Amino acid sequence: MAEEKATNKELEQYIQYLTTERQYSVQTQKAYRRDVQAFIDFMEASGGFNGFGAVDSVAVASYISYMNEKNYSPATTSRKLSSLRGLYKFLMRIGAASDDPFALVETKKTHNHLPEFFFEPEIDALFKAVSGDDPLTIRNRALLEVLYDTGIRVSECAQLTLKQIDFNVSAMLIHGKGNKDRYVVFGKSCADALHRYLDTVRMELAGIKGLVEPHVFLNQHGKPLTPRGIEYVLDQIIKQTSLTAKIHPHMLRHSFATHMLNHGADLRTVQELLGHSSLSTTQIYTHVTTEHLVDDYMKYFPGHGDADKHS
């Protein structure tokens, strides 16, 4: 029983580390906790769990075999193993484990699914759906403008505060993943929508709490919109259009990146605006910018001339 308490303590320490030092979102923390707990549950059901330090290569092989039997997708298996590697990296750092039994495990390569995005006419349709004068429509317009105009993550948008917006330079200071700050810029349409929302609707939603409530986007009760709340709002917006696509908040981020590249932005700029730590993460968007590539190819590639010239 004492060992179980010690193990739970280590897991809680790990989650606390993800919260304070890595500054992961609540959703990400829950995902890590689920992955680690799933492994603990497997060990318990397989004869007992004697702590993370007692896990060996045999236990790891058994767990991988179990996941294969459950027909987990390569992506799911890879994610679970990545969560456990992250745990052991932390445990070794604090001296709670001497090595990582998952370090040498090779997983099947996963197929990189191309990011889903909206074509520009579809984006226009979304904005037409939020062109009214209803207070919540005005808020939703500002929300849509911020997500598409800046490409910030939904969690970053939910956490956005008034102090982070500087209208004088048309930029926002975003607190991103891993405690990394970055500046993103926004255009006139986004600035206009934000001003309209902040100067009228937000004060109505916040009421007396508006004097102390720092968050930009509020629900009808004057409380900060959560990531789930933002997803609900976007679902309602797309229902007002003729679009058949199922919207996910990240699609606006993907659309931002794709449209930037389609219109000639360089990859490094998009990487910086998105807050990606690695350029390889941003490079996936180059696979969906075929229109820009075809235009450049037709414009600059000299070709071989007329066939008659080579006959």
> Is 287 known to be catalytic?
no
> Is 250 known to be catalytic?
yes
Q: Name the active-site residue from 202, 253, 254, 259.
A: 253
Q: Name the active-site residue from 177, 182, 196, 248.
A: 177
Q: Name the active-site residue from 153, 202, 254, 259.
A: 153
CA 119 to chain centre: 20
> Is 195 known to be catalytic?
no
> Is 285 known to be catalytic?
yes
Positions marked catalytic: 153, 177, 250, 253, 276, 285
